[in-house]
Structure 1
Amino acid sequence: MLTANTNGRRPQDLFNLLIAACLFISPWIVGFVGDTMPTRNAWIVAVVLALVAVAALSVFAEWEEWVNLVLGLWLMASPWMLGFTGNFNAFWTHMILGVLTAAVSAWAVWDYRHEPHATA
């Protein structure tokens, strides 16, 4: 069973790092690199997601998971907010990776709040 641990390395952070990598390469792999708005959005969110995941791997703080949760929600809302709902590949890439990001981050928050951990 995957659970949170006290050395700062959580499986959720590794999953978020993997999701960030998938998101970053998705414009080329899925085929929407020619559409500027969803491509730039994917790259920017992927870089921020990766930076936060790396930060969480080194020293965990709950706010990092909340940032990732917001990034996941943004990925799901961005096709409408940025106007690329007509691009099937970009739309579904953002939706699927957004749901995964939000779910993994919610799992991390849940895990953190329900594990015994030391307090200062």
Structure 2
Amino acid sequence: MSSPNHRATAAPPAWHGIGLPAGTLQAAAGAALVLAAWVMISTDQSRAAASALVPGLLITTLYGADRFCFRAVLERAVLLIGIWALVAPWVLGFAANDNATWAHLAFGCMATISAAAWLRRADAR
């Protein structure tokens, strides 16, 4: 028999509120940047492909590490990487390529918004 003082453990904080949608958005952004890099490599756009591959892999890796144990520093890193993806077309000089620019803007924005949501939630605790 169970004792009357036995309490059920709560679900991990990531599954409450904003956690699941923000995490899914972040994972999708990282995977989409990696996929976009693969498409850009096949169309001979190496600078844009490298600019999508590195942030995509970093976002995906940091997302996976953050699921084991939430660390605000990991979300701050994702936020900075997302911002880099947003400005990369102009910094690296491939803004004239509409497809690469829009991929960077869309997925960089997804990563930035999800990281900001996680950080906002962490600050609220």
TM score, norm. by length of structure 2: 0.79
Q: Distance in 1 between matches of 2:79 and 2:12?
A: 22
- Which stretches of structure 1, 4 residues or more, deviate above 4 A after TM superposition? none
Q: Unpaired runs of 5+ in structure 2? A: 1-9
Q: What residue is the counterpart of 1:50 in the other structure?
A: 60
SS in 2 for 1:85: coil
What is the aligned counterpart of 2:40 among 32, 36, 39?
32
Aligned residues: 109
How far did 1:14 drift? Answer: 3.2
How far did 1:23 drift? Answer: 1.0
Q: What residue is the counterpart of 1:118 in the other structure?
A: none
Q: Indicate the RMSD between aligned Cα atoms, in angstroms.
A: 1.7
Provide Cα deviations, 1:12-51, integer angstroms capped at 9, x if missing partner.
Answer: 23321121111111144xx533100110111111111111
Kindly indicate whether residue 102 of structure 2 is the aligned counterpart of residue 92 of structure 1. yes
The answer (yes or no) to whether the contact 2:47–2:94 under 8 Å persists in 1 is: yes
Q: What residue is the counterpart of 2:82 in the other structure?
A: 72
Q: Unpaired runs of 5+ in structure 1? A: 116-120
Q: Distance in 2 between matches of 1:97 and 1:46?
A: 9
SS in 2 for 1:32: helix
Kindly indicate whether residue 32 of structure 2 is the aligned counterpart of residue 22 of structure 1. yes
Q: Distance in 2 between matches of 1:6 and 1:63?
A: 23
The answer (yes or no) to whether the contact 2:25–2:110 under 8 Å persists in 1 is: no
The answer (yes or no) to whether the contact 2:37–2:50 under 8 Å persists in 1 is: no
Percentage of pairs with the same residue: 20
The answer (yes or no) to whether the contact 1:8–1:56 under 8 Å persists in 2 is: no
